[in-house]
Amino acid sequence: MRLLEKVKTQSPIVLDGGLATTLEQAGCDLNSSLWSSEVLRHQPIKIKQAHQDFTNAGADIILTSTYQASYQTFTDIGMQNEEIDDLFTIAVEQVMDATNNNQVVVGSLGPYGAYLSDGSEYTGNYVISREAYFKFHEQRINALISRGINDFVFETVPNFEEIQAIIENIIPSYTEEQTFWLSVTVDDTGNLSDGTEFEKLIDYIKQKGTIIPIFGINCSSVKGINRSLDKGLASLGQTIALYPNGGSHYNADSKKWENDANSDEIIEQVPRWLMEGVQIIGGCCQTTPEDIKKIRHSMS
């Protein structure tokens, strides 16, 4: 099933949870600049098992294991394009084998900050040209399209300039056959992670409904997300998607999450978010298939 078809025919919709967290629970070591892509390279069956766990938990949307899988990331460690192509094939095969026709498979596209592997997806502290953003994202989008993926999410995007490059330069280069949703990160005040006032972002996104039919926030605290709702998130005409993290802080030096997570905060907020008109709810880092099962139950 395609993404917009699911949005039109079902509400609410359950998104999957933290792939990396689920892989770590399965004993995988993700202390690498490649993050879950390290598992994709060496233990692809673990990727399939994680997708299957989210399917079994009741997720309607499953994201591919390509968040960190940019060509630039793999080239930096000495891989050739043919080898990288094979990894994209494996990623798509694993998710397809773990899903059914009633689910939607969406290509996960991490921001440029994820490639930097220094926690920049939570600060937005990077500046490159729009042409560089285009080149970074284009190759893997094309790789996924050629393997049958036509629904995408640019997720964990913390930087207003990258958002503009995505909306004004990247998405318009594709056809109506492709659908793109955009998900950003916010700080605990509810502003975009690079410090851009959320009201400014909302004013911008309101004008882009035909380009970005789905907009939301991921890998941010429940506190920050609720403050973004207070700052106008629910006023958008787009379908709203929320998938927070468990509340911990990411240490880029150790590549570990610090502080205790409390994913129950997400479950507690589901009724409020549904009343605010949020249609897609799931989890990000520190959330598990068990959390997604609880989200599914809380919606019934």
Binding site membership for Zn(2+): which residues?
A: 219, 284-285
Which residues have a Cβ under 8 Å from the Cβ of 240 and sit 6 or more positions away?
Answer: 214, 215, 216, 233, 234, 276, 277, 278, 279, 280
Which of 215, 275, 216 lies closest to 244, judged by CA? Answer: 216
HSE of 27, CA atoms in CB hemisphere, 13 A: 4
| Binding site feature residues | 219, 284-285
Of 138, 132, 130, 131, the closest CA to residue 116 belongs to: 132
Whether the CA torsion 101, 102, 107, 113 is positive or negative: it is negative
Rg of the chain (C-alpha set): 17
Structure tokens belonging to residue 104: 């939607």
SS3 297: helix
Q: Any alpha helices (H) in the chain, and if so which ranges? A: 3-9, 19-25, 36-42, 44-57, 71-76, 81-97, 112-116, 130-145, 160-165, 198-206, 222-230, 264-275, 289-299
Q: Measure the CA–CA gap between 271 and 37, rounded to whole angstroms.
A: 34
In the three-class reduction of DSSP (H, G, I as helix; E, B as strand; rest coil), residue 53 is classed as helix
